[in-house]
Each structure stands twice: as C-alpha cells, then as structure tokens.
Amino acid sequence: VHSLLFISGGICIAQSLKIPHSHKQENFDKIIRLLLDTRYARAVVLFTSDEDIRGILNASKRADQVGHFLWIGSDSWGAKISPVHQLEEAAVGAVTILPKRATIAGFDAYFTSRTLENNRRNVWFAEYWEENFNCKLMSSSKKEDTSRKCTGQERIGIDSKYEQEGKVQFVIDAVYALAHALHNMQRDLCPDVSGICEDMDLAGGKKLLKYIRSVTFNGSAGTSVTFNKNGDAPGRYDLFQYQMDNNSSPGYKNIGQWMETLQLNDMQWPNGQTEIPSSVCSLPCRTGERKKAVKGMPCCWHCEPCDGYQYQYDATSCKLCSYNMRPNPNRTACQPIPIVKLEWHSPWAVIPVFLAMLGIIATIFVMATFVRHNDTPIVRASGRELSYVLLTGIFLCYIITFLMIAKPDVAVCSFRRIFLGLGMCISYAALLTKTNRIYRIFEEGKKSVTAPRLISPTSQLAITTCLIAIQLLGVFIWFGVDPPNTIIDYDEQKTVNPDQARGVLKCDITDLQMICSLGYSILLMVTCTVYAIKTRGVPENFNEAKPIGFTMYTTCIVWLAFIPIFFGTAQSAEKLYIQTTTLCISMNLSASVALGMLYIPKVYVIIFHPELNVQKRKRSFKAVVTAASLTTRLSHKTSDRPNGEAKTELCENVDPNSKFHHIRVHKPSPNYSTGLVLKNCL
C-alpha cells in the first residue's frame, strides 16, 4: 500500500490503515474515527475480505457517516452480494472493479462431469464435494456430524447450483503462459534434445521468469496475453457501482470499463449530487496562506497564514517584503508603505500652532509698545538694547513651531537647524548678561566703590553677541560635517499590523543631534538660573532681578518635564507627533513665561498707568555701589541700637546710563536702629 504514495496523476494516499485479524466492532469503529481525522479525504480504497467490508460499512453506519465516504472496492469486492447484504444504504455509491472476463466454452461441460472417481488427482476435490453438496464422505477427516452422507452419485449442476467462476479464464491463461515459457526455454536451451536437458535443468527460476515475461499468445477468451517489464498483464476491468433509486431495487450496475483507456458513464453520486465529489486530504489554502506539509503524508498539509510583513511567494512559502514595502491586503505581493508627515490640520499641530500664533501676536504688541514709548522711563530703565534682543529671541522661539511642522525639505531642514536653538540662545544670553551684571555690581559694591567693568549697554550687547555667536558657530560646523537632508524613516511607525505601517518623512536630525543643538541654550538657562539664585537677595525691583529669577525657575520646570517625555517616547509609533508637539509647546511655554513675567507688567503700566511712567531724581553709580557696601556695614551696627532704626533709602534712576543718582537717608531716632532700603524711584 505504501507504494501508492508515489503514484502519479494526482492520486495520493492520506492514510494507510491495517484491519486487525480479530473482527471486533471496536476495531472497525476506531478505523472510522481515524479516517475522519482527514475529513476531506472521502475516497476510501478497500483491499479487504467480504467480512471486513461488512465491518467497515457497519461502523460507518454507527458513526452516522452514511454518504460521507466514497467506497472504492478492489476485485475482492467485485459485484458480490454478501458484503452489502442488509447494508445497502451504507454501500450506495460504492465503485468496484472486476477483471474483464469471459465465459470459457467447454469448461462448464468438463467441470460438471467431474466426480469423485474421475478426479482423484485433485487432492482438494473431496473437500469441495462435501461443501458443495452439504454432505459427509466416509473417508473425510472432518469431525462435524451431519445427518446426510455423501453417496458419490451426486452431480454438479444438478444436485447443486453451479456458475462458472469468473477467474477461470485467468487460470487457463496462466497455465498456458507457463507452458509457452517452458516450450520457448526448452527450444533455446535444448535445441537438439527432446525434453529437459542439463542446461534447462540448471537454468533456475530467474531465467524461467524472463521467458514467462516474454511470451505472447492468444488466450482462452481470444484476447492477447502479454506481460510488461514489471511482469503485469494488460489491465482489463469492468467497473461497477452499487446504485439504488426509486425505480429499481439496489444492485450493481456496470458503469464502464478500462482497456488501456477509461470508458465511464451512468455514474450516480450519493445524495443526488450531479458534480463529482471531491476527495482531498486538505482543502486548498486561501490566498495569503502557505501549505505546510504533514510529515509522512505528502498530500496533506496545514494552511499557515503569511503573517507580519510576509507575502505569499508560492504555494509552500512566504517571503518578507523589503524594508520600504508591506504586503497588500490579500498578501499576494508587496506594495509601498504610505509616507506621512505632521500635517497642519492634525491635533498634534493645532495646539502648538495656536499657542505660537498667540505668542507672536503678544510679542509684536509688546515690541510695538516699547518702540512707541522708547524714551519713557520704564523702557529706558529696563535696558532697551537687551530688551529688544530678548524680545527677538522670544519671537524666534514662537517661529520655530512653524518650521517644525512644515513639510520637510532641504530648505526647511536647514532653517530648523539654525533656529532650533537660536531663539532660546538669544533669550537666555540676554537674561544671563542681565543677571550677571546685577550680580557683579552688588558683589563689587561690597568690596569697593569702583564700578565693575563691562556694565555699559555697549558692553552688554557685545557679551550677548559673543554668547550667541557660539551657538551659530556650532550650527555652521554641523552644516559642514552633516549637510541638511530629508529621510523617510520606515522603522519609526513599523507597527505589528502592517496595515498601520507608515514611513515618516522627516529631516535627517537624530534625537541626539537635536538635544545637542538645544544643549548650549540649556547650559545658558542653567547658568542664568544660578545667577538668579545668587541675586535673589538684591533689593526689590532692582534691574528685574526677581522677575528674572521667577522666569528661570519656571523655565527649568518646563524643560525638566520636557526631557522625560521626549526620550520616553523614543520607541513609540507616535514618536514624530509626540516629540514635535512636546518640543514646540515647551519652547512656546518658555517664551510665554519670559514674555509674561518680564514685559507684561511694564506694558500694563505704560498703557493703563502712564502717570507712573515718570522721571525721578537721579543719583550716581558710585552711590549705588556705596549703598551696596553700606548695606553690609549697617546690618552690623543695628545690633548696637536695639531700640532704634536708621533707615537709609536708595533710589535708583530708571535710566542705567544716567550719571546722577540720589540717596535719601532718614536720620535715626533714639529708639530706632539703622537700615538701608534700595529702590527704583520712578
């Protein structure tokens, strides 16, 4: 049976089962269960005895599988009634075969004339006689008792039914084939000898087999008898099907024959089907699935879907799409992964753009207000030069939002590199210069009355410009080492589900490069914060020390929140949107904090309380540094006057360029200690 695994023509064996010798019901039930393991393999070829055929049909009936299996019987089944007796319903549709045979004229007369007397040479004839006539011979070795004794006068065909056995033709032809082979062998090996010579006696069976396979003669039925190279005679078969309909009783119907070609007609399928039923071990796999063969069952397979980024390459294999492709919906080929970018209408872009537009409007309004009131005391006292520099930096912090959301190209990527850290750098360079000036003034004032160097507006602008130049130098070096370009990142949004995969169009800027670009600005911010902490004890409202301090504290909190969000989403499929939005909002908030704390109060006074925007008495810078020194000395003397206070009030001119300053010293009363108050006097 295993040789059938290699039969060509699309026929394959899903299972090969053996029927145990013990004809137990449970054995046949087990066979049916095993056959149902390959449910779609419905055609069952039976090489079995009559009793086994009945056992199989009975088991299929008990399993309620009548009509499921398509039985194909070998010539051992043929057109016999006994295998299907009382199992007609289960056997309907069974196709059986019988070797094509003919009735041999003269054999019936010869065989019916055989008696116990004239056929003693056949040692099995006596046993046949007892079985055929249901009697017992006196010389029989059978131990069963029978009520009837054989007389020896019985006649075949008269006292019993007789029908010529269908294989008589083949027995006669087989005898003649051997006879022709022996004749040809004797003629070749013993040409001059009658009978068997020594060469023929020693020839052996293999040589005889060679002669048998080479014989050709007309057989008893008038057909040619030949053998092929494998020793098989030409196949000639009649095909039968066990049919049952309402118009006739069940029975075998000749539906065709095989004589080198198949001639088939009058087939009838179970349940009234008109199409040929399918019998396969496994159903064809759906599109996008590959066949995985079952070990030891070459015609059986499991269907496995091509998953992930695989597509069906052929019936048995899947292949991975290239890095910029994904499988199409039915997984028969690959298609390009869609390209996306941050769109203006995306919620990720709407919020930072809205904040940036508000900030730009507010910045322009503040700048216009300062320009219009450029010579008023409040504007002059805030340090006009650095104020305009700081406003420029704040404006650029808002502008970067639009560059981060714009469609990436070489020009946009170039401007991103330039302005990404430039706005923050300009802002914090100006603030650092301011806080450093305040710190140096009061530190120098504690030591001497000599003014520190580089505190004039020109010096302040020069320092700020140098700090900004460092940022620009780093950007230009970046341009030279790694020219701006755009890339499509297919890994950022390569999700488990390929239908959701996207290629991200973005500038060729890594997270590390972005942080390095912002790193110098963050360093300026941290340094400015340190100076803000050191000048926190400066008298209130002196050169914006405290507002700058609050600005820096708030800004540090914003950027401390930015860093974990930025790096924490590095593996997210929404990385592009989250990081861009977070960066834009952080820069917008930083700019808004500086604008709100440093400029809005001044604009409020300029617009709504112009009466406060007036010139006060002036004092010299020497008085300022003297007051700073005096603050320290007076703090020690108060301990000698516990019941009195000497209050010294220093009013700083709103114009840092003024040469005239004023000190008001209130004479102490006997009951008060001495102190110093340093103020802006407007």
Reply yes or no on whether the pLDDT at 670 is more than 50. Answer: no
- Tallying the residues shown for the chain, one arrives at 682
- More reliable by pLDDT, 164 or 523: 523
281-336, pLDDT tens digit by residue? 888 899 999 999 888 777 788 899 999 999 999 989 999 999 999 999 999 999 99
| DSSP state letters, 280-337 | -SSPPPPTTEEEEEETTEEEEEEEEE--TTEEEEETTEEEEPPTTEEE-TTSSSEEEP
By DSSP bridging, strand 662-665 and strand 248-259 are unpaired
In CATH, which of 3.40.50.1010, 1.10.486.10, 1.20.1070.10, 3.90.1150.10 is domain 347-612? 1.20.1070.10
396-449, pLDDT tens digit by residue? 999 999 999 999 999 999 999 999 899 999 999 999 998 888 788 777 766 666
- pLDDT for res 312: 94
Alpha-carbon gap, residue 84 to 131, rounded angstroms: 23
248-291, pLDDT tens digit by residue? 678 899 999 988 888 888 788 777 777 788 888 888 899 999 99
Closest CA to 97 of 115, 116, 80, 114: 80
Q: Encode 487-535 in three state secondary structure.
A: EEEEEEECCCCHHHCEEEEEECCCHHHHHHHHHHHHHHHHHHHHHHHHC
Domain boundaries, the chain: 168-225, 289-336, 347-612, 621-680
Alpha-carbon gap, residue 436 to 628, rounded angstroms: 16
Alpha-carbon radius of gyration of the chain: 56
- pLDDT for res 222: 84
356-394, pLDDT tens digit by residue? 999 999 999 999 999 999 888 888 888 888 999 999 999
Reply yes or no on whether the pLDDT at 502 is more than 50. Answer: yes
- More reliable by pLDDT, 587 or 666: 587
Q: Tokens in use for 201?
A: 């006696």
Coil/strand/helix, residue 410: helix
8 A C-beta contact, residue 473 and residue 461? no
Q: What residues pair up with 358 in beta bridges, in sequence order? A: none
| DSSP state letters, 59-97 | HHHHTT-TTTSEEEE-TTTTT-SGGGTT-HHHHTT-EEE
* Angstrom distances, CA of residue 209 to CA of 190, 199, 226: 18, 16, 13
